[in-house]
A and B are shown apart, each in its own frame.
Chain A
Amino acid sequence: MENIKETIMEVIYSVLPITLVVTALQFTIIWLPMETFIQFLVGAVMVSIGLILFLLGVNVGLQPVGEMIGSALSKTRSLWLILFFAFVLGVVVTVAEPDVRVLATQIDQVSNGEIPQSILIMSVALGVGIFVALAMLRIIFSIKIVYLLTIGYGLVFLLAAFTPPIFVPISFDSGGVTTGPLTVPFILSLGLGVASVLRGKSASRDGFGLVGLASIGPILSVLILGVIYG
């Protein structure tokens, strides 16, 4: 019960402030027809109910699944199995991430279907998958994260020179939305599981940095998508 209350408050805290700002704007400078404004409020209520149910579901069902898969994987002690399933998990979780879907829908609409939702989601998911697998490699061989970040962002800026300009904002936005309510706990529990089994307890700090790496993946993959399109 405590958990449910906490989740409800969490969602209200993240939806309410902006809703209030928008309400204030509506009655000072925007002045949309009442009907349209009510439609916005209906949307806000549905988004809140949806998020509450979703987060509860993530807590009860999805996150334990991530933890169990993480520890089952690490126990196999097989580098290839770990890397392969880290990749699969990264893909599968990103496909289900709410913010990624919404961004892809918006891009689909604004580009008049030129960049279809499904293709964008797939390339973002592949990007996250590959970088989650790389992040596991980092934990296993304790590679310095600064190197990976520098190389990662270096590649990003290099690729961006070859991609059509419209893909640049889209790719960075994709990197921003992947770190949502589903992906973060999943990746963290996977990383912590692998780190603790493979390298003993002291490695728990290795879990940090995973999310940062994972968000470079989609930037790169969407830029590559742009290079292919262009």
Chain B
Amino acid sequence: MNIHIFHGFGDVLRDVTMALSPLLILFLFFHFFFLKLPLRRLIDIGVGFLLSYFGLAFFLQGVHIGFLPIGEIMGEKLGTFPHEWVLVIVGFILGFFAVYAEPAVAVLNRQVEKVSAGYIPQKLLLYTLSIGVGLAVALSMLRIIYGISLWYFILPGYIIALIMINYSSKAFTLIAFDSGGVATGPMTATFILAMFVGIASVTEGRDPLLDGFGMVALVALAPILSVLTLGILFGRKEKRQDGDLE
């Protein structure tokens, strides 16, 4: 057995130091000039920084030794699989489950239920989102298989979104554009993306740089469209109620 765990950990630690020190310097600046916090608070914050430091280091190490290389190998294996339609299904399943359990979605769910006063039930949003992201990842698979430019998805996607704003209630519009990030959790941007790069690298005529990336972009578009759709449904109901009152 030849399993690497701490291979290249020194580089990762240096990377993390560079990542966190600007924030630390900014905090110290504010501490000395504005905040002047008591020692107990300072210790709490110091502990927070230490935890984040080692947390980020382990996370990146896990990504470097596990997710990136193995994701690519798995992608290469999948890319040579003889039945291409299987890839599209695999994409849908990956996308669906990437969001279904994502904690950030729970926060979004609560927001939407609150703003719509319960009219949009949490389960409805959860399924809309999961199916939306599943379709986004499945479409990204189709992109690689047929070499379709990202434009053909992104341009109509955002134009539709901007048109939908006119019909959606305002609170929903804001939530929709904020929610782009909920689906791009830690698994999407690391493991699934590495897999896509792997698939693109073994598919003939595809450039991994041009065709492998772009998946996150589609995954970020899915929640925007999903929430706006629910916003239009809710806006209609609001209008109908206004009409009833008159």
The yes or no verdict on A and B being binding partners is yes
Residue contact B59 to A17, C-beta cutoff 8 Å: no
Out of B47, B70, B213, name the residue touching A169 (CB < 8 Å).
B213
C-alpha spacing A205/B170, complex, angstroms: 11
Chain A residues near B194 (CB-CB < 8 A): 106
> For the complex, is A113 an interface residue (Cβ under 8 Å from B)?
no
Q: Digit string of A166-204 for contact with B (CB within 8 Å is 1, else 0)?
A: 101110110111111100100000000000000000000
Residue contact A25 to B23, C-beta cutoff 8 Å: no
Residue contact A21 to B97, C-beta cutoff 8 Å: yes
- Interface residue total, chain A, C-beta cutoff 8 A: 97
Cβ distance A33 to chain B, nearest Cβ, rounded Å: 9
> For the complex, is B234 an interface residue (Cβ under 8 Å from A)?
no
A interface, over-half SS: helix
> For the complex, is B117 an interface residue (Cβ under 8 Å from A)?
no
Chain B residues near A119 (CB-CB < 8 A): none
> For the complex, is B48 an interface residue (Cβ under 8 Å from A)?
yes
> For the complex, is A95 an interface residue (Cβ under 8 Å from B)?
yes
Residue contact A46 to B65, C-beta cutoff 8 Å: yes
Residue contact B70 to A62, C-beta cutoff 8 Å: no
> For the complex, is B56 an interface residue (Cβ under 8 Å from A)?
yes
Residue contact B20 to A96, C-beta cutoff 8 Å: yes
Chain B residues near A18 (CB-CB < 8 A): 94, 97-98, 187, 191-192
Chain B residues near A205 (CB-CB < 8 A): 171, 174
Chain B residues near A96 (CB-CB < 8 A): 19-20, 22-23, 52, 56
Residue contact A60 to B177, C-beta cutoff 8 Å: no
A65-B27, A169-B210 given; A56·B74 CB < 8 A? no
Cβ distance B17 to chain A, nearest Cβ, rounded Å: 11
Name the segment of B121-129, B216-224, B236-244 touching the other chain. Answer: B216-224
Cβ distance A31 to chain B, nearest Cβ, rounded Å: 8
Residue contact B158 to A153, C-beta cutoff 8 Å: yes
Residue contact A88 to B216, C-beta cutoff 8 Å: no
Chain B residues near A69 (CB-CB < 8 A): 26-27, 30, 34-35
Chain B residues near A101 (CB-CB < 8 A): 15, 19, 60
Chain B residues near A46 (CB-CB < 8 A): 5, 58-59, 61-62, 65-66
Q: Which residues of A contact B (CB under 8 A)?
A: 10, 13-18, 20-22, 25-26, 29-32, 35-62, 64-65, 68-69, 72, 88-89, 91-93, 95-96, 98-99, 101-103, 105-107, 109-111, 145-146, 149-150, 153, 157, 160, 165-166, 168-170, 172-173, 175-181, 184, 205, 208-213, 215
A–B Cβ pairs within 8 angstroms, 15 of them: A18-B98, A30-B77, A49-B62, A53-B58, A55-B55, A57-B47, A57-B55, A62-B52, A69-B27, A109-B68, A145-B174, A165-B149, A168-B214, A172-B214, A177-B184
A-B interface, 4 closest residue pairs, ranked by CB to CB distance from nearest: A43-B66, A61-B48, A179-B181, A212-B177
With contacts A14-B102, A18-B192, A107-B213 known, what are 9 further pairs, Cβ within 8 A?
Answer: A29-B78, A31-B77, A46-B61, A99-B184, A103-B193, A103-B216, A166-B210, A173-B214, A175-B180
